[in-house]
């Protein structure tokens, strides 16, 4: 399907004829007129009269070039079939803990022991790729929280920035309340029913100026739903002076607070003790809050103006070359 974005450009079609018809000829070429030695060869006769029409191939080529120039000015466009947006349309922030405790290597991935942040990167990266139709943002937090990627449809950039996050990048401590507050500030201008925060941590709030529960109540006030994920193996093997030692504690993980944050905001709390559990959590998150989008269909447009414009310029160049190479005459 072809349409013209600026069809009013065709109103200029009779402009050359109007100029010839109503603009009077210059009586004396010595007073500021442009003297064209080969003018009579182009139009086929001397002078200017009422029957003045191009009588050669060059004249018809000039007309064709003018028509092509007008077609290019009207911006011909090829319209493809309208495409519907994906049927979600959420604004989703990922808040990932990069504090010092995320370096504990208690996860297995393809038989290799990796640290907690490495497991998050591997699983969350695939989750990000499946977020078609959602706007994604990324917050990294440790002693402080920072926006690593603002909300956008550019899933590849969000995944790239997550994969390059380093432990300790935002400090060694854990500011959960600050991360929630920052995410709420970024989401509050989104459609109210589309605001989602996924907060992933392996610790407890140890720093920051915002209490996590107070931040959760602020998030609920702004319509932000929070899904919290507690990361860390139930059993950890650590080396000591007396050999490997089994530790059944999950460290500083404050599950009570994470559950309470989810309850306040009508979200859910998940426990990720290993890579398989983490993958299952993200699969569940895929199905949460499916919302019909209110966006109009996307209409792909391909611009074609450069084709007639290129041909018109080539024709004008050819005309100029032919006329300049003709034997010199006087009008």
How far does Cα 270 stand from its chain's mean position? 30
In a domain, 140, yes or no: yes
Mean pLDDT computed over 18-37? 63
Token pair in block for residue 194? 């589309």
| Lowest-confidence region among 90-94, 121-125, 275-279 | 275-279
Task: Tell if the pTM clears 0.75, that is, is over it.
Answer: no
In a domain, 205, yes or no: yes
Query: What confidence tier does 270 reach under pLDDT thresholds 50, 70, 90?
Result: confident
Token pair in block for residue 307? 């084709």
Residue 133 and residue 253 in one domain? yes
Please give the pLDDT value at position 30: 52
Query: What confidence tier does 147 reach under pLDDT thresholds 50, 70, 90?
Result: very high
Residue 55 and residue 178 in one domain? no
- What is the percentage of the chain residues whose pLDDT exceeds 70? 76
Query: What confidence tier does 234 reach under pLDDT thresholds 50, 70, 90?
Result: low
Residue 157 and residue 268 in one domain? yes
Token pair in block for residue 29? 């070429």
Give 149 or 82, the one with higher predicted confidence.
149
Q: Which long-range contacts (CB under 8 A, 24 or more apart) does 318-324 make?
A: 318/61, 319/58, 319/61, 319/62, 319/65, 322/58, 323/38, 323/41, 323/42, 323/58, 324/38
- Per-residue pLDDT at 55 exceeds 70: no
Please give the pLDDT value at position 51: 46
In a domain, 46, yes or no: yes
The whole domain housing 218 covers: 91-287
In a domain, 181, yes or no: yes
In a domain, 249, yes or no: yes
Q: From CA 329, how far away is CA 318, in angstroms rounded?
A: 19
Please give the pLDDT value at position 271: 86
Average pLDDT score over the chain: 78
Give 93 or 193, the one with higher predicted confidence.
93
Please give the pLDDT value at position 68: 93
At a CB cut-off of 8 Å and minimum separation 6, what does 182 contact? 95, 139, 141, 145, 146, 147
Please give the pLDDT value at position 113: 83
| Lowest-confidence region among 6-15, 70-79, 100-109 | 100-109
Residue 58 and residue 200 in one domain? no
Distances (CA, A) of 68 to 58, 114, 305, 315: 15, 64, 9, 10
Please give the pLDDT value at position 323: 78
- The conformational region for residue 243 under phi > 0 = left, psi -120 to 50 = alpha, else beta, is left
Residue 281 and residue 315 in one domain? no
In a domain, 75, yes or no: yes
At a CB cut-off of 8 Å and minimum separation 6, what does 210 contact? 175, 177, 178, 180, 181
Residue 198 and residue 63 in one domain? no
Query: Strand 76-79 to strand 301-303: parallel, antiparallel, or no bridges (unpaired)?
Result: antiparallel
Residue 225 and residue 172 in one domain? yes
User: Which CATH number covers residue 164?
Assistant: 3.40.50.410
Residue 109 and residue 145 in one domain? yes
Give 241 or 252, the one with higher predicted confidence.
252
Burial of 198 (0-12, 13-18, 19+ CB in 10 A): buried
End-to-end CA, the chain: 48
Mean pLDDT computed over 227-231? 88
Number of domains in the chain: 2
> Which among 143, 150, 147, 148 has a CA at the least distance from the CA of 176?
143
Please give the pLDDT value at position 290: 54
Token pair in block for residue 222? 């702004």
The three-class DSSP label of residue 73 is helix
In a domain, 293, yes or no: no
Give 195 or 253, the one with higher predicted confidence.
195
Mean pLDDT computed over 139-143? 91
Residue 125 and residue 24 in one domain? no
At a CB cut-off of 8 Å and minimum separation 6, what does 21 contact? none
Q: From CA 273, how far away is CA 325, in angstroms rounded?
A: 84
- Per-residue pLDDT at 315 exceeds 60: yes
Q: From CA 191, how far away is CA 198, in angstroms rounded?
A: 17
Residue 28 and residue 143 in one domain? no
Please give the pLDDT value at position 250: 45
Residue 59 and residue 176 in one domain? no
Give 327 or 9, the one with higher predicted confidence.
9
Mean pLDDT computed over 150-165? 91
The three-class DSSP label of residue 14 is coil
Please give the pLDDT value at position 289: 56
Give 189 or 295, the one with higher predicted confidence.
189
- Per-residue pLDDT at 278 exceeds 90: no
> Which among 134, 162, 131 has a CA at the least distance from the CA of 149?
162
Most confident range (mean pLDDT) of 29-33, 166-170, 185-189, 271-275 is: 185-189
In a domain, 51, yes or no: yes
Residue 180 and residue 304 in one domain? no
The three-class DSSP label of residue 3 is strand
């Amino acid at each position: 399907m072809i349409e013209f974005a600026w069809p009013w450009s065709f109103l200029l079609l009779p402009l050359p004829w109007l100029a010839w018809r109503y603009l009077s000829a210059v009586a004396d070429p010595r007073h500021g007129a442009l003297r064209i030695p080969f003018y009579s060869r182009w139009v086929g006769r001397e002078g200017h009269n009422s029957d003045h029409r191009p009588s050669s191939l060059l004249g018809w080529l000039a007309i064709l070039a003018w028509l092509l120039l007008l077609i290019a000015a009207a911006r011909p466009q090829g319209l493809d079939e309208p495409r519907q947006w994906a049927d979600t349309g959420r604004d989703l922030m990922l808040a990932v803990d990069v504090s010092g405790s995320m370096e504990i290597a208690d996860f297995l991935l393809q038989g290799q022991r990796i640290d907690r942040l490495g497991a998050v990167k591997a699983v969350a990266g695939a989750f990000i790729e499946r977020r078609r139709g959602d706007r994604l943002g990324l917050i990294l937090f440790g002693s402080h929280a920072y926006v690593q990627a603002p909300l956008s449809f550019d899933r590849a950039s969000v995944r790239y920035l997550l994969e390059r996050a380093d432990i300790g990048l935002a400090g060694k401590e854990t500011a959960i309340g600050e991360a929630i507050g920052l995410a709420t500030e970024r989401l509050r201008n989104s459609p109210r029913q589309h605001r989602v925060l996924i907060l992933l941590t392996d610790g407890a709030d140890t720093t920051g100026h915002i209490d996590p529960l107070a931040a959760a109540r602020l998030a609920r006030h702004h319509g932000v739903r929070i899904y919290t994920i507690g990361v860390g193996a139930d059993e950890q093997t650590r080396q000591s002076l007396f050999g490997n030692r089994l530790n059944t504690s999950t460290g500083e993980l404050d599950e009570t607070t994470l559950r309470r944050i989810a309850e306040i905001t009508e979200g859910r709390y998940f426990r990720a003790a290993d890579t398989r559990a983490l993958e299952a959590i993200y699969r569940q998150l895929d199905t949460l809050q499916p919302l019909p989008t209110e966006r109009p269909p996307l209409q792909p447009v391909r611009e074609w103006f450069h084709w007639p414009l290129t041909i018109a310029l080539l024709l004008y160049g050819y005309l100029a070359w032919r006329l300049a190479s003709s034997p010199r005459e006087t009008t």
